[in-house]
Amino acid sequence: MAARLTLHEVGLRFGGVTVLHEVGFEVGPGEILGLVGPNGAGKTSLFNCISGHYRPSAGSIRIDGAEVAGLPPSRLAAHGLARTFQHPALQLRATVLENVLLGGHTRLGGGPLTWSLRLPPVGRRERELREEALELLDAHGLGWAAHQPADELSHGLHKGIELCRALMMRPSLLLLDEPAAGLSHGEVERFIETVRDLRAHADVTIVIVEHHMGLISALTDRVVVLDHGSKLMEGTAAEAQADPRVIEAYIGKEAADDAA
C-alpha cells in the first residue's frame, strides 16, 4: 500500500553550517510531490535525511506514522522506501540483470544460513525474482541489455536500470533524485510516461527532486520549494512558477552565479 510521508521541523547542520531549517510537509498515499529549488537549496540533503544517508539534527520523519529519522538505509527498506541517486550508483562490472536483482534481496526471505546453504526454497525464490527482474527490464525497454555489463551502457540507460532496481523492492515510497539530469529530450519524455504508468498500476507514493520544470509540471500533484534550507512555499507547480518569492529565489541565485 502506498505510504504516507510526514516531515516535521527537520533540521540538518554540518559543523556550524545550517543546511536544513525546520522543513515540514506531508505527502499522502499515492501522491507525486516535487521538491524543487535553486542549486544548493538543500533538496538532496533532505532526500539523504529521508533515505537514512544523513541523520537529521532535529525534527521528525515518519513513514505511515512510524518515526524513521536516523534509521540507516538498510532498515528503511522494511518501511517500503527505495530511492535513486542523482548519479546512478550501479555495480558497473556486474550485468544489468544482477544490478536489478540487488533491489530484490530484501524480498529473498530466510536468513544468512538458508542463503549460504542454498536450501531449495532459496533457489526457487531466486528463480522467481530473476523472472520478475527480467519482466521489469522488458517493461522498461531494457530487456535486450539484461546480460550486458552495466559499464557498457549509456548514462540514460543507467538511470533506467537504477529505477528498475528500486522498483524490484516493491516500494511504497519512492524517492527519485534528479531523474532527468543528463537525459535527452526523448529520454525525458519516456521517463514521464514511465512514471505515469507507475501511478496507474503501482501503489506507490513518489517524491521527485528535479530542476526540469517541464517534468515537474507534467507529473506532480504538488511541489515544495526549498531555498537556503527552508521551505519557501508549497502548492501546485503552476502556483510555484507564478509565485514572486520563488521567482526571486531563482533570479537571485542566477544573479549571484553571474557575479561570481
Ligand X SMILES: Nc1ncnc2c1ncn2[C@@H]1O[C@H](COP(=O)(O)OP(=O)(O)OP(=O)(O)O)[C@@H](O)[C@H]1O
The binding site for ligand X (CB under 6 A) comprises: 14, 17, 19, 37, 39-45
**Residue 161 CB contacts under 8 Å (≥ 6 apart), including other chains:** 88, 90, 96, 99, 100, 137, 142, 145, 150, 153
Torsion of CA 49, 28, 23, 179, to 10 degrees: 50
In the bound complex, what is the minimum distance in angstroms from residue 248's beta carbon to ligand X? 17
Is the Cβ of residue 21 or residue 140 nearer to ligand X in the bound state? 21
Is the Cβ of residue 42 or residue 179 nearer to ligand X in the bound state? 42
Is the Cβ of residue 39 or residue 91 nearer to ligand X in the bound state? 39
Residue 212 DSSP class:
-
In the bound complex, what is the minimum distance in angstroms from residue 71's beta carbon to ligand X? 19
The single residue listed with the C-alpha cell 505510504 is 3
Grid coordinates in use for 7? 516531515
In the bound complex, what is the minimum distance in angstroms from residue 82's beta carbon to ligand X? 19
SS3 content of the chain, % helix, strand, coil (to 5): 45, 25, 30
In the bound complex, what is the minimum distance in angstroms from residue 64's beta carbon to ligand X? 25
In the bound complex, what is the minimum distance in angstroms from residue 8's beta carbon to ligand X? 19
Contact 96, 90 (CB under 8 A): no
CA-to-CA dists, residue 42 to 21, 98, 156, angstroms: 10, 33, 25
Grid coordinates in use for 218? 507534467
Is the Cβ of residue 87 or residue 107 nearer to ligand X in the bound state? 87
Is the Cβ of residue 14 or residue 144 nearer to ligand X in the bound state? 14
